[in-house]
């Protein structure tokens, strides 16, 4: 059976002397899961601890779900601590989650946990606790590698978080838990995207507690909560025009030592609408360029002016070695909004054909693993490298007013500029959605404010219709 183990350790009873009463906590560990049960007097705690210890010495099987010997078969079970439950939830979700989503889960649980602390005696510094939770406690891969200050912090959390069942009959605690999970460290609301993400993860975690029968129902579902308004539309102020894009690419090329090797990197986003993680993972076999043509007058091979094509099936978002299964900085995944194995074609306009051909002909045009882009010293292209180059290019190519505005503030804004160009050129949304890797619905919602001229065209049609009616 997967839900039992014989690996049991029983610890010394912990005594907590509060202002009104003294509580005796029996503590033990089943597999990797810590458990604790409170008692009001020492005799009850000693009896229960002795029963647990006797069952372990007899070699009885213990349930991973209840923490007690399987032979007891009790309907009542000791409460799992919030920290212990959070670790169990992380382990369950992490099996199939992407590396970036594992990070999101860790951050959400880290944000929520302060609301579930049961005591302050011996509490480590807040920064130490947050770091210990985010990087180790709520990371299945790293949890068993802790030592020193981090190990002490996680032990303190294990012994000083409330039972996961505590919110069941405490509406105030439920509200506090939700508010804490969706707030910044200074108590102010977090960014809208963070609020929505953390709330969803917290609700999923409590659903899992219900599944394990640690809660009778999800208490969050009884809380009246208004989701913050959010807009997924692209800010038109962030979209560069063609002259600004060319100036930015020229500013990139002028930088040493990374500039020349990154011109094609940024050009792929501006002219082909790729996401940064898609460009990072682009390989030689993904690129099809039109053949050169022979100029009979000069005897030289020249560009034909024809279009090329990109076709690829993988992206490589940055996650960090501690979150990926194989210890690499990036995790190869299927394309966004595409099933595994599906490819996405993207046209390469002649201007990008020239840039790519020049890049491939350069000494840095291909990395050892056939990727088109690598770091200055070889290996994977670090995101900090291209972000730093882009920041300097904005400073060099834009006016002070433009540099202070949202214009191309993020590298990703080059993709927005490309998709906006396609739409404004009159390319059907279905075709743009295919090239950009969106659904048509999402495409039109995101780029609604970037399609210029539609309002004037609509007014002309209305005026024409009214004129016809008058006649």
Report the chain's terminal Cα–Cα distance, integer Å. 83
Shared-domain flag, residues 302 and 440: yes
Q: Are 220 and 178 in contact (CB under 8 A)?
A: yes
pLDDT band at 341 (very low <50, low <70, confident <90, very high): low
Listed residue (47, 48, 18) closest to 36, CA to CA: 48
Residue 158 has pLDDT above 80, yes or no: yes
Residues 6 or more apart from 116 whose CB is under 8 A from it? Answer: 82, 83, 161, 162, 166, 177
pLDDT band at 88 (very low <50, low <70, confident <90, very high): very high
Least confident of 71-80, 97-106, 136-145, 258-267: 71-80
- What are the beta bridge partners of residue 189? 183
* Domain stop point among 72, 95, 126: 72
Query: Both tokens of residue 468?
Result: 């016809």
Query: Both tokens of residue 185?
Result: 């460290």
Q: What is the pLDDT at residue 377?
A: 78
Q: Is residue 462 part of a domain?
A: no
Average pLDDT over residues 313-324: 73
* Domain stop point among 43, 72, 101: 72
pLDDT band at 85 (very low <50, low <70, confident <90, very high): very high
Shared-domain flag, residues 134 and 265: no
Q: What is the pLDDT of residues 425-434, one digit of tens each?
A: 888 889 988 8
Average pLDDT over residues 93-111: 90
Query: Both tokens of residue 162?
Result: 């409330």
Q: Is residue 230 part of a domain?
A: no
Residues 6 or more apart from 373 whose CB is under 8 A from it? Answer: 261, 262, 264, 265, 279, 280, 282, 367, 381
Task: CATH number of the domain at 265, please.
Answer: 1.10.443.10
Euclidean distance between CA atoms 344 and 102, whole angstroms: 26
Shared-domain flag, residues 120 and 251: no
pLDDT band at 458 (very low <50, low <70, confident <90, very high): low
Q: Are 211 and 115 in contact (CB under 8 A)?
A: no
User: Is residue 257 reached through a cis peptide bond, with omega within 30 degrees of 0 on the bond before it?
Assistant: yes
Least confident of 316-330, 353-367, 449-463: 449-463
Residue 388 has pLDDT above 90, yes or no: yes
Q: What is the pLDDT at residue 257?
A: 82
Average pLDDT over residues 431-455: 75
φ, ψ for residue 146, nearest 5 deg:
-80, 160
Q: What is the pLDDT at residue 394?
A: 95
Mark residue 31 as left, alpha or beta (left: phi above 0; alpha: psi -120 to 50; beta: remaining): left
Euclidean distance between CA atoms 229 and 63, whole angstroms: 44
Residue 193 has pLDDT above 90, yes or no: no
pLDDT band at 263 (very low <50, low <70, confident <90, very high): very high
Residue 379 has pLDDT above 80, yes or no: no
The mean predicted confidence, pLDDT, of the chain is: 85
Euclidean distance between CA atoms 94 and 78, whole angstroms: 25
Average pLDDT over residues 369-396: 88
Cα torsion through 7, 13, 18, 21, rounded to 10: 110
Average pLDDT over residues 311-325: 74
* Domain stop point among 47, 72, 97: 72
Residue 391 has pLDDT above 90, yes or no: yes
Q: What is the pLDDT at residue 168?
A: 82
Euclidean distance between CA atoms 79 and 44, whole angstroms: 16
Least confident of 77-86, 173-182, 292-301: 77-86
List, as one string, the DSSP characters of 207-263.
Answer: HHHHHTTSSSS-GGGGS--PPPP---PPPGGG---HHHHHHHHHHHHTSTTTHHHHH
Q: Is residue 330 part of a domain?
A: yes
Shared-domain flag, residues 36 and 165: no
Least confident of 104-113, 303-312, 368-377, 458-467: 458-467
Judged on CB neighbours under 10 Å (0-12, 13-18, 19+), 45 is buried
In the chain, the percentage of residues whose pLDDT exceeds 70 is: 90
Euclidean distance between CA atoms 29 and 49, whole angstroms: 12
- CB count within 10 Å of CB 250 equals 14
Residue whose pair of structure tokens reads 């399609």 in the numeric block: 451
Q: What is the pLDDT at residue 77?
A: 47
Residue 46 CA from chain centroid, whole number: 46
Shared-domain flag, residues 43 and 95: no
Angle between helices 383-397 and 242-253 (to 10 degrees): 120
Shared-domain flag, residues 50 and 198: no
Shared-domain flag, residues 264 and 325: yes
Pairing status of strand 314-315 against strand 333-334:
antiparallel
φ, ψ for residue 302, nearest 5 deg:
-130, 165
Q: Are 359 and 270 in contact (CB under 8 A)?
A: no
Q: Are 352 and 268 in contact (CB under 8 A)?
A: yes
Q: Are 412 and 239 in contact (CB under 8 A)?
A: no
Residue 299 has pLDDT above 70, yes or no: yes
Average pLDDT over residues 384-407: 93
Shared-domain flag, residues 262 and 341: yes
Better pLDDT: 272 or 66: 272
Shared-domain flag, residues 101 and 176: yes
Euclidean distance between CA atoms 327 and 371, whole angstroms: 19
Q: What is the pLDDT at residue 346?
A: 93
Q: What is the pLDDT at residue 247?
A: 95
pLDDT band at 114 (very low <50, low <70, confident <90, very high): very high
Average pLDDT over residues 410-414: 93
User: What total of structural domains would you count in the chain?
Assistant: 3
Shared-domain flag, residues 214 and 300: no
Q: What is the pLDDT of residues 6-52, one digit of tens each?
A: 999 999 998 888 777 788 889 999 988 888 888 878 888 898 999 99
Residue numbers of the domain that contains 345: 236-450
Better pLDDT: 312 or 457: 312
Residue whose pair of structure tokens reads 């503590």 in the numeric block: 27
Q: What is the pLDDT at residue 412?
A: 92
Shared-domain flag, residues 113 and 134: yes
Judged on CB neighbours under 10 Å (0-12, 13-18, 19+), 178 is buried
Euclidean distance between CA atoms 272 and 69, whole angstroms: 61
Q: Are 244 and 408 in contact (CB under 8 A)?
A: yes
Euclidean distance between CA atoms 97 and 90, whole angstroms: 10
Listed residue (112, 137, 4) closest to 61, CA to CA: 4
Average pLDDT over residues 404-411: 92
pLDDT band at 452 (very low <50, low <70, confident <90, very high): very low
Q: What is the pLDDT at residue 96?
A: 82
Shared-domain flag, residues 252 and 391: yes
Q: Are 136 and 146 in contact (CB under 8 A)?
A: yes
Euclidean distance between CA atoms 98 and 336, whole angstroms: 12
Better pLDDT: 369 or 131: 131
Q: What is the pLDDT at residue 338?
A: 60
Residue 460 has pLDDT above 70, yes or no: no
φ, ψ for residue 272, nearest 5 deg:
-120, -5
Query: Both tokens of residue 442?
Result: 């999402």
């Amino acid at each position: 059976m997967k839900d039992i183990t014989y690996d049991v350790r029983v610890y010394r009873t912990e005594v907590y002397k509060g202002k009104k009463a003294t509580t005796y906590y029996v503590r033990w560990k089943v597999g990797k899961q810590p458990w604790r049960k409170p008692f009001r007097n020492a005799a009850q705690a000693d009896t229960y601890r002795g029963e647990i210890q006797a069952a372990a010495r007899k070699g009885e099987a213990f349930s991973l779900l209840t923490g007690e010997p399987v032979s007891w078969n009790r309907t009542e079970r000791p409460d799992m601590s919030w920290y212990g439950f959070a670790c169990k939830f992380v382990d369950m979700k992490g099996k199939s989650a992407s590396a970036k989503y594992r990070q999101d889960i860790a951050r959400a649980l880290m944000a929520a946990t302060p609301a579930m602390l049961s005591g302050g005696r011996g509490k480590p510094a807040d920064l130490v606790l947050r770091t210990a939770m985010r990087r180790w406690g709520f990371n299945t891969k790293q949890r068993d590698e802790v030592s020193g200050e981090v190990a002490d912090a996680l032990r303190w959390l294990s012994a000083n978080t409330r039972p996961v069942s505590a919110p069941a009959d405490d509406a105030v605690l439920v509200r506090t838990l939700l508010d804490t999970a969706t707030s910044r460290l200074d108590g102010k609301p977090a960014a809208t995207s963070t609020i929505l993400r953390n709330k969803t993860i917290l609700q999923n975690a409590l659903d899992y507690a219900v599944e394990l029968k640690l809660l009778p129902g999800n208490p969050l579902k009884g809380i009246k909560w208004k989701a913050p308004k959010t807009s997924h539309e692209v800010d038109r102020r962030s979209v560069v025009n063609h002259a600004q894009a060319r100036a930015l690419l020229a500013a990139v090329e002028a930088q040493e030592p990374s500039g020349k090797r990154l011109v094609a990197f940024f050009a792929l986003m501006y002219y082909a609408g790729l996401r940064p993680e898609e460009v990072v993972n682009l390989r030689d076999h993904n690129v099809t360029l039109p053949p050169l043509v022979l100029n009979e007058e000069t005897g030289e091979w020249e560009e034909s002016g024809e279009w090329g094509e990109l076709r690829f099936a993988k992206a490589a978002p940055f996650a960090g070695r501690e979150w990926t299964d194989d210890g690499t900085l990036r995790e190869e995944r299927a394309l966004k909004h595409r099933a595994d194995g599906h490819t996405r074609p993207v046209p390469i306009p002649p201007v990008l054909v020239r840039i790519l051909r020049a890049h491939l002909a350069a000494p840095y045009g291909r990395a050892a693993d056939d990727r088109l882009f690598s770091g200055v010293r070889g290996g994977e292209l670090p995101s900090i490298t291209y972000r730093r180059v882009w920041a300097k290019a904005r400073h060099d190519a834009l006016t002070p007013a433009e540099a202070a505005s949202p214009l191309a503030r993020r590298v990703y804004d080059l993709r927005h500029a490309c998709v906006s160009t396609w739409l404004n050129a009159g390319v059907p949304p279905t075709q743009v959605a295919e090239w950009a890797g969106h659904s048509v619905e999402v495409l039109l919602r995101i780029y609604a404010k970037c399609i210029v001229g539609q309002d004037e065209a609509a007014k002309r049609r209305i005026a024409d219709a009214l004129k016809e009616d008058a006649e």
